Structure 1
Amino acid sequence: MAGDAAEWIGSVFLFIQTDAHQLNLPHLYKDSLQQLNVYRALQLTLKEATEDAHKAEILKVLSTDKQLIMHIKFSSEKICVQFLRSYSSGRVRQSLLNHLRMTFPVPHAAVQTQLRAGGEQLDSLLGEEQQCIKCISNQKPDHLKDEHIVQLEQSLRNLNLGNEQAISTRTLCSITEGRNDLSQEVTLAFQDQQFVDRLLSREDHQKFAKLVGRYWKIVGRTLSKTCRALRDPAIDNLAYEFEHEGLYEQAYQMLLKFIQSEGKKATLSRLIDALIENELRSLAEDLLALNNNEEK
């Protein structure tokens, strides 16, 4: 059926894998200090593969133990064809490698890619362009651009405008390392004691993921009452996406989404309140260092 070109929509998943010993891309993407650099390389690669960046956009980036997975939406068949031809020629892979090498000191790094649309592995179909386009067209995205991707893109726009202070290393460190940007007078009460409230630290993050176990979902649903990024169906999506990685990774990704979306509002008190509401006081005690069985 011949329709308006502007109505053409399709999507594809680009799987990216690097040699972990040379360049551990999933690890870098999970590191909030490096995440923006990795995303910038992904975004620039996509722009170079197409003429119109507005008609090819990254909806989401998933990180597994070994791969990054980009969900790319096309809103033009012409742009989709341009991307396929760029991918088929190897320019997409080479462009990504170039951008990564410009950011990270890894002269011998290599990148492997795979393209999928639904159940079809498109690398073996690249010689049949129309079949690839049909597969991509059949995959209509069922979700909007991930909120975290929107935030990363805004950060990149701020950089391009010369507003480096908007995402300075100091600010990023304060979020990931738990340096307290809140007033020292802000406290939280627990077991008849007062504790200084602060931003969640990396240690908090890892300890929560390790100890919460199967209760991560109910904690996430409690946090979702005041965190838009965790509202339905976000929790179920995380459970599905990281099912094979286990409970630690599911819990880690849930709290990461909370931290990234809430920024300076991702405080220890909010997590402690969620734990108390779900009768997980022992974990609250661990986070507040009231127990002596600290992880070594």
Structure 2
Amino acid sequence: MPTGNHSGLSGAQIDHFINQGYLKLEDAFDAELAHQGQAELWTAMGLSPDRPDEWSRPVVRLGFMTGPAFAAAANTPRLHDAYDALVGEGRWLEPTGLGTFPVRFPSSDDPGDAGWHVDMSFDTDHPDFMQWRINLMSRGRALLMLFLFSDVGPDDAPTRIRKGSHAEIARSLLPHGEHGLTLRELSADGFAATAACGEALATGPAGTVYLCHPFLVHAAQPHRGTRPRFMAQPALLPRDGFDPTLPPSPVQQAIRKACGLAF
């Protein structure tokens, strides 16, 4: 396992990513960019931070945002170094913005989307999202990322993370080769193999980014706080497919460790 410094990440950080499936980076982008992004998101929703009586839904979903604040937040030098360290230099595409944004509001209503899941990465043009697919090589996705555009505490609907769950998903995908599994197939047992995993909450001040293994099992939850939670959950896209001639990245090392593979 890695022990030295990797493009600004310590060996301990790399090991945590490989073993637990995620890495928390505070101050990954400037709080002023988060403030600018929030302003754009309020406008896009047609809502106001000063009119809480209009916050009538537990969650409002916004798509991919390409404004300057979002592109800048996704492409700070610190994040570029981290992308290089986890995915491999030259193996990812520079983000042109951020999204999607599930903006969560304080509410006693069930948001309707709080189940455990893994984000699928290919065949995502299928009209039935349960038919979207994922495979052992994580075709179409280099990382899952969580960008906090507001301060997020334990009551502010932080994303729930099952620590180490990426290893169980890798083992589930192993027999299915390039074809992989659909979300319906992968979730048939409710991700029972990951139920014993410890849980972490994606909390932190605005400007925090969680860089997650693409196989990480995670879930939303209701908002029990007082102020809306703003977060982007984009993929970092790979530049090309898996290349066995290149040294394995930490993303690939995590899969190898889980499955005992030598690819």
Give the TM bin, normalised by the shorter chain: under 0.3
More helix by share: 1
TM-score, reference length from structure 1: 0.25
TM-score, reference length from structure 2: 0.27
Whose RCO is larger (CA < 8 A, sep 6+)? 2
- Structure with max Cα Rg: 1
